Structure 1
Amino acid sequence: MLTGCSLPSHLPEVTFHANGKTIRVEPAVYCDIGGDNCAERGQAGKLRVPPGKVVQISVDGQLADGIWEAVFLYRDAAGTQQTTGTGLLGKGEDFTYTLALPDKGDQLLGIEIHEAAAAVLETGQPLLRGYWAVEITA
């Protein structure tokens, strides 16, 4: 059971804007800063993004002060699903990111925002503290 001091009272939200629509998404899963005491919180957001359109991503100050990344799934013109990401962002410098796919005909399928915890895995990768998900329709 989670206690009041395990997770912050205000969970960070991520804002996604595309095709004239803006949505705010709560974390699907969120843990304390050490990557423990995790709780399932929100559901995936839904956003319509036609091929060739960009998505503006804006993160809460709490995420921007830490380390975060955007990971996205898309289908290329040949019909092959691809996964790629932004690499690590944040550290008090990155509050926004514009997601544009490599080619105009590529169709975005989904986006996840990952926040790193204070802990590090044996591989040297940061432990995931929370993630925000968006399902995309054309």
Structure 2
Amino acid sequence: MRRLASVLAASVLVLTGCALPRHDPEVTFYANGKTIRLEPTIYCDIDGSNCAEKNAPGTLKVPAGKVVQISVDGQLADGLWEVVCVYENAAKVQEGCSSPLLGKGDNFSYTLAVPNEKDQLLRIEVHEAAGAVLDTGQPLMRGSWVVDITR
């Protein structure tokens, strides 16, 4: 009888498994032979409200001039997302870069490259667009995944 109760309890858990809360989307960063997988530093409801600070930024060692491969999970790839970065050029001046809007089920990855081989990445952020837009027409940010670069 106890065995039957255990089987029934396990069946209920399996059947209700789709009602369990989903985890926050993750982003994978790969450079210099190392991979890190991060959950968001900030994450909001789909409309961009009820935001919560979640996790500290990750760190990744990236030598000057090297690329970073970025992969997002399906939840991000189905929506809109972008990559932004800060880098230091050869003259030691900080500059920024950004990708076009990616996603809509077509883009699961992006290769971030600095313009010149002496440029040093300092920070990378992946932004997920919310289901709302600002007055300017730009999408409101729903989530942010942040990597601070070490040399």
TM-score, structure 2 normalization? 0.85
RMSD value, Cα: 0.8
2:127 to 114, 125, 130: 114
TM-score by length of 1: 0.93
Deviations 1:35-85 (CA, angstroms, capped at 9, x unpaired): 111111111000000012110000011100000000000000111100110
Higher strand fraction (1 or 2): 1
Could you tell me how far apart the structure 1 residues matched to 2:136 and 2:30 are? 34
CA distance in structure 2 between the aligned counterparts of 1:53 and 1:102, rounded to whole angstroms: 10
Identity, in percent, stands at 66
User: How many matched pairs?
Assistant: 131
The alpha-carbon deviation at position 9 of structure 1 amounts to 2.6
Which residues in structure 2 correspond to 1:1-138 (within 5 Å)? 9-138=22-151
Asked whether the 8 Å contact 1:26–1:43 carries over to 2, the reply is no
Matching residue's letter, 2:58: G
Write 1 or 2 for the structure with the bigger share of helix: 2
2:106 partner letter: E
